[in-house]
């Protein structure tokens, strides 16, 4: 289907979009008939006319769709969803075609030492807003690859792949299990990060060489990959100790399988005969010493793979690090693989074969250092309330308190006194015959698993909803009593606005405690929660609270001479802290990075940023560049008047946001009627329930569906609500705001706000209201749209522009292309929601079409979850 709306974009990108669209159109016509393709063209033309009108009006398209039968709407939904995904693929291929500009190091005499101390970890999380089936993602990846082939090959392969995609179900019908989520994360590593990570480190070596600096040590780990998939049990009853064990074994199986491929390649390549004395002592009189070592490693890796596969298939909670099989027959810890590979490298260099050493062997060594035999490092996450409940049950069962009270009744001081006393005790605390509840038993089983594994493959324990020092001490006691001897890092996660404000005092109290200071060993990690703080306070006020909390946490760590790593729990959407990673890093408070960074990669953004080796390499080098820049050349402190202005604006924003979301008694009903929040259940988004508790209020709703639902109707409310009251509109106020754009933190807030506002389309929001509000007053929607319009006007005045994204023409063009296919999906979704809600037993075709529109809108707008 030709699209004349593409004439203004890059020629190669335009040709790809048109070619893919025409192929899809011919495939639809062949499958559904010429009339179906004509219907699709009618929808596209009506949507184009509506947007081109002086006042956007969707009524004609809406009326046309209302006359069609359910099956016709399924075909239309699937067509525009596929057109949109193909346009995204073409755009992604276009980005990949751009020249590789390499990695530029900041101009600073301390670069070498800063590089040696780099510690960047990306954490793949089990919060996917990725609704596509894995098989569809693989087909789309293949389409992108085919776009790079010669004309004759390209056409035939694209036709076959797009036909496969059209004749496949694009949406999952059932929720993924935690194991499914973990396998999806492992697949990203297998297909992309396995190659991208050593490639990114080669880029770093090349940049160092250009500055006449030595390469990074082979066993250094400036980049690592961790995951929450299979370890995040906060509010997810589907993640149990057995599930976590199975995921850990699946990771070991995948790691062994990938390393086997490396070892087989090395066995073919390392046929040299000359070696140094150290290697000769290892292999004896073997004629091909390098191959002899690789063969030994390969045999052990085969046993490791078979063992892990068997354990993953039948987890029973019995795997121990001390099992005989794990001590000798399999790879259990990183150094068991890394040391012999390094010996091969050292021998080659010593014997004058450095060129060979710098080939595939170097990449294998760096993979061994970064991934190890577990492939990823798994975080365990649980809510502080679950740990407190465990101790409450225990203290009541043991009658610990003379006043018959339990742990949950105690003051913070009394809790800490109890925990520290028990931590110093040599006797077990938890009786083996204790009849604990199922919830408490799961907490204890998880700690027992960590202890049995001696924390191998476990990165740290994250405590969500952390508020007090006792929340950290409680987890340490649970692990110690389970038998863990290592000091596993315990990471408090501060999420709500109140928690962020208390975070510095909590950390100071922890580090002031001699017992805990000895435990943490002068290193501490703190996680900043972007999602729940934004849902609690609004994006603008939350961003300022996060900034201030980080400043104060750094000051506390400096006071106690502790190395602090800030773990940023960012989502893909702006309403959950999303945004370009490099810009975000450079906008952090001065000295809050210092070469140490941990950050979540969530939802569909994993595919957009890490889905192919080229994209992943660029993302990883971007993280390296921005982290070094922020560490070596940090931004200046904000001027005192800017800080005061932010305080005033954040207070106004907070008040306006909460007045709507918390205090307006009609807001929840409006939210549930206007958005597809209630229907998200038919969209198999992830293994975790959408709500923390079975209530209808916003507080119990998780941040992902909160943002996702508003995005579907193009209002993007979580990303801007309250900001319209925060930013001043007088000439004097605007002048102050323009001056504040020199501050990287504030500039990023406005940049992200402008991007969100460009994605808003209030005319579509009003269409949803017309279709779905019923007896609810539409003036509430009008009021929200008026507030949005006022904010858009303020941002345009601030920018001195007549339209949004004037300074971002590539993004503006991208949105323009995607709107061609998004607009019909929105109008169609409004119609489908009305039909779905009107029928007590909706037709399965309506549910299918509705799922497809949700997926298409999510893919088209990207930063949705």
- Indicate whether 353 and 415 sit together in one domain: no
Considering the domain boundaries, does residue 286 fall inside one? yes
For residue 159, being part of any structural domain is answered with no
Kindly state whether residues 368 and 410 are assigned to the same domain: no
Report which secondary-structure segment, H or E, holds 597. strand 596-601
The neighbouring-strand residues paired with 380 are 461
Compute CA 835 distance to the chain's CA centroid, rounded to the nearest angstrom: 34
496 contacts 524 by C-beta, under 8 angstroms: no
| Most distant CA atoms of the chain, gap in Å | 88
Contact 292, 283 (CB under 8 A): yes
Is the residue at 387 inside a domain? yes
| Judgement on whether residues 804 and 853 belong to the same structural domain of the protein | yes
CA-CA distance, 111 to 204, in Å (whole number)?
12
- Structure token pair of residue 843: 């037709």
* pLDDT-flagged residues of the chain (< 70): 1-9, 101, 126-133, 324, 326-327, 571-579, 603, 683-697, 699-700, 702-703, 863-865
What pLDDT was estimated at residue 96? 74
Torsion angle of the four alpha carbons 643, 648, 650, 654, in this order, in degrees rounded to the nearest 10: 160
Owning domain of residue 45: 4-98+639-861
* Residue that is last in its domain, among 353, 374, 395: 374
- CA dihedral in degrees (621, 627, 633, 635; nearest 10)? 120
In a domain? residue 262: yes
| DSSP symbol at 216 | P
Give the pLDDT of residue 398.
Answer: 92
Confirm if 279 and 293 have CB atoms less than 8 A apart.
yes
Q: What is the CA radius of gyration of the chain?
A: 28
- Under 8 Å CB-to-CB from 453, ≥6 apart: which residues? 248, 319, 320, 321
Residues 603 and 747 in one domain: no
Tokens representing 721 are 């609500």
Which of these three, 345, 374, 403, is where a domain ends?
374
364 and 427 both lie in a single domain: no
Which pLDDT does position 692 carry in this prediction? 53
Would residue 114 count as lying in a domain?
A: no
Q: Which two tokens stand for residue 277?
A: 């004395």
Residue 609 zone, left/alpha/beta (φ > 0; ψ -120 to 50; rest): alpha
Selected catalytic residue, list 48, 94, 127, 826? 127
Determine whether 771 is an active site residue: no
166 located within any domain? no
With 0-12 / 13-18 / 19 or more C-beta atoms within 10 angstroms meaning exposed / middle / buried, residue 144 is buried
Cβ pair 37, 22 in contact under 8 A: no
Domain count, the chain: 3
Clarify whether 183 is annotated catalytic.
no
Spatial contact of 828 and 72, defined as CB atoms under 8 Å apart: no
SS (H, E, C) 766-785: HHHHHHHCCCCCCHHHHHHH
| Residue 852 and residue 781 share a domain | yes
Instruction: Tell me, yes or no, whether 783 and 701 share the same domain.
Output: yes
Domain harbouring 302, CATH code: 1.20.1440.90
Among candidate residues 48, 535, 771, 826, the one labeled active-site is 535
Burial of 579 (0-12, 13-18, 19+ CB in 10 A): buried
Distance, CA of 456 to chain centre = 24
Phi/psi for 597 (5° steps) reads -150, 135
Which single residue is written with the structure tokens 């409680």? Answer: 474
Q: Domain boundary residue among 305, 339, 374? A: 374
Residue 754: the pLDDT is 96
Per-residue model confidence (pLDDT) at position 865: 47
Q: What share of the chain is helix, strand, coil (3-state, %, to 5)?
A: 65, 5, 30
**723 Cβ partners below 8 Å, 6+ apart?**
538, 539, 540, 653, 753, 791
Among 820, 581, 811, 854, smallest CA distance to 708 is for 854
Are residues 814 and 66 in contact, defined by beta-carbon separation less than 8 angstroms?
Answer: no
Q: What is the pLDDT of residue 184?
A: 87
**Structural domain includes residue 852:** yes
Are 620 and 654 within one domain?
A: no
CA distance 537 to 655: 9
Question: Can you state the angle between helices 241-269 and 178-188, rounded to 10 degrees?
Answer: 20
Q: Are residues 658 and 573 part of one domain?
A: no
What is the C-alpha separation between 774 and 797, in angstroms, rounded? Answer: 37
How far is 283 from 293, CA to CA, in rounded Å? 7
End-to-end CA distance of the chain: 31
Same domain, 805 and 770: yes
CATH of the domain at 467: 3.20.20
pLDDT confidence of residue 102: 73
With beta carbons less than 8 A apart as the criterion, state whether 601 and 610 touch.
yes
Shared-domain flag, residues 304 and 319 = yes
Q: Whole-angstrom Cα distance, residue 143 to residue 21? A: 13
User: Is residue 134 in some structural domain?
Assistant: no
Q: How far apart are CA 6 and CA 20, in angstroms?
A: 13
What is the pLDDT at residue 10?
72
**CA atoms of 96 and 98, how far apart (whole Å):** 5
Q: For residues 476 and 490, give the distance between their C-alpha atoms in angstroms, rounded to a whole number.
A: 8
Tell me, yes or no, whether 224 and 360 share the same domain.
yes
């Amino acid at each position: 289907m030709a699209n004349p709306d593409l004439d203004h974009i890059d020629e190669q990108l335009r040709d790809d979009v048109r070619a893919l669209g025409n192929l899809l159109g011919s495939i639809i016509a062949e499958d559904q008939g010429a009339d179906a393709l004509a219907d699709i063209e009618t929808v596209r033309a009506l949507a184009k006319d509506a947007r081109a009108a002086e006042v956007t009006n969707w009524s004609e398209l809406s009326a046309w769709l209302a006359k069609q039968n359910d099956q016709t709407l399924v075909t239309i939904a699937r067509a525009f969803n596929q057109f949109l995904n193909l346009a995204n693929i073409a755009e992604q291929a276009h980005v990949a075609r751009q020249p590789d500009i390499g990695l530029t190091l900041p101009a600073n005499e301390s670069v070498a030492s800063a590089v040696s101390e780099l510690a960047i970890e990306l954490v793949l999380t089990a919060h996917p807003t990725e609704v596509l089936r894995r098989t569809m993602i693989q087909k789309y990846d293949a389409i992108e690859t085919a776009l790079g082939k010669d004309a004759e090959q390209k056409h035939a392969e694209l036709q076959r792949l797009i036909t496969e995609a059209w004749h496949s179900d694009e949406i999952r019908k059932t929720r993924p299990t935690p194991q499914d989520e973990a396998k999806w994360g492992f697949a990203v590593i297998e297909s992309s990060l396995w190659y991208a990570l050593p490639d990114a480190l080669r880029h770093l070596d090349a940049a160092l060489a250009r500055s006449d600096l030595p390469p990074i040590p082979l066993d250094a780990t400036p980049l690592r990959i961790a995951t929450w998939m299979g370890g995040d049990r906060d509010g997810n009853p589907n993640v149990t100790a057995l599930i976590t064990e199975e995921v850990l074994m699946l990771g070991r199986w995948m790691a062994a399988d990938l390393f086997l491929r490396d070892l087989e390649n090395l066995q073919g390549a390392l046929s040299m005969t000359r070696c140094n004395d150290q290697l000769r002592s290892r292999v004896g009189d073997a004629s091909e010493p390098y191959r002899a070592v690789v063969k030994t490693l390969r045999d052990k890796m085969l046993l490791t793979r078979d063992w892990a596969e068997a354990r993953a298939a039948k987890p029973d909670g019995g795997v121990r690090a001390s099992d005989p099989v794990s001590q000798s027959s399999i790879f259990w810890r990183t150094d068991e693989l890394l040391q012999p590979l390094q010996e091969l490298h050292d021998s080659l260099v010593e014997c004058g074969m450095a060129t060979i050493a710098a080939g595939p062997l170097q990449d294998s060594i760096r993979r061994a250092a970064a991934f190890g035999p577990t492939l990823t490092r798994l975080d365990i996450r649980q809510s502080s309330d679950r740990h407190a409940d465990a101790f409450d049950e225990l203290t009541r069962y043991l009658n610990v308190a003379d006043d018959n009270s339990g742990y949950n009744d105690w003051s913070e001081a009394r809790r800490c006194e109890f925990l520290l006393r028990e931590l110093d005790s040599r006797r077990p605390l938890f009786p083996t015959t204790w009849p604990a509840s199922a919830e408490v038993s799961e907490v204890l089983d998880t700690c027992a698993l960590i202890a049995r594994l001696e924390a191998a493959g476990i990165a740290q324990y994250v405590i969500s909803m952390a508020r007090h020092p006792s929340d950290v001490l409680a987890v340490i006691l649970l692990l110690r009593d389970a038998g863990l001897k290592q000091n596993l890092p315990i990471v408090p996660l501060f999420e709500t606005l109140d928690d962020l404000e208390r975070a510095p005092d909590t950390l100071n109290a922890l580090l002031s405690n001699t017992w805990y200071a000895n435990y943490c060993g002068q290193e501490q990690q703190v996680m900043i929660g972007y999602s729940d703080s934004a849902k609690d306070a609004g994006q603008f006020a939350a961003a300022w609270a996060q900034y201030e909390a980080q400043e104060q946490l750094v000051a506390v760590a400096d006071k106690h001479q502790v190395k602090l790593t800030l773990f940023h729990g960012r989502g893909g959407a702006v309403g959950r802290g999303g945004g370009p990673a490099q810009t975000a890093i450079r906008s952090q408070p001065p000295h809050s990075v210092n070469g140490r960074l941990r950050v979540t990669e969530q939802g569909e953004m994993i595919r957009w940023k890490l889905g192919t080796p080229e994209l992943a390499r660029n993302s990883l080098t971007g993280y390296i560049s921005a982290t070094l820049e922020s560490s070596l050349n940090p931004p200046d402190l904000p001027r005192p008047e800017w800080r005061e202005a932010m305080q005033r604006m954040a207070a106004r924003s907070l008040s306006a946001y909460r007045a709507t979301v918390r205090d307006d008694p009609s807001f929840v009903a409006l939210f549930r009627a206007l958005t597809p929040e209630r229907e998200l259940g038919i969209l198999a988004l992830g293994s975790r329930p959408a709500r923390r508790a079975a209530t209808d209020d916003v507080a119990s709703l998780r941040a992902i569906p909160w943002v996702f639902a508003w995005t579907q109707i193009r209002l993007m409310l979580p990303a801007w609500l309250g900001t319209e009251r925060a930013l001043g509109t007088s000439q004097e106020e605007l002048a102050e705001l323009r001056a504040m754009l020199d501050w990287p933190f504030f500039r990023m807030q406005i940049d992200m706000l402008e991007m969100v506002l460009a994605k808003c389309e209030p005319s579509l929001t009003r269409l949803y209201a017309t279709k779905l509000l019923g007896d609810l007053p539409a003036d509430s929607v009008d009021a929200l749209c008026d507030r949005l319009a006022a904010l858009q006007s303020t941002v345009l005045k601030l920018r001195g522009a007549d339209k949004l994204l004037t300074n971002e023409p590539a993004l503006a063009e991208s949105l323009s292309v995607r709107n061609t296919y998004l607009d019909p999906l929105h109008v169609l979704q409004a119609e489908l929601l009305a039909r779905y809600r009107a029928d007590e037993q909706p037709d399965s075709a309506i549910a299918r079409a509705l799922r497809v529109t949700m997926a298409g809108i999510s893919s088209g707008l990207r930063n949705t979850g």
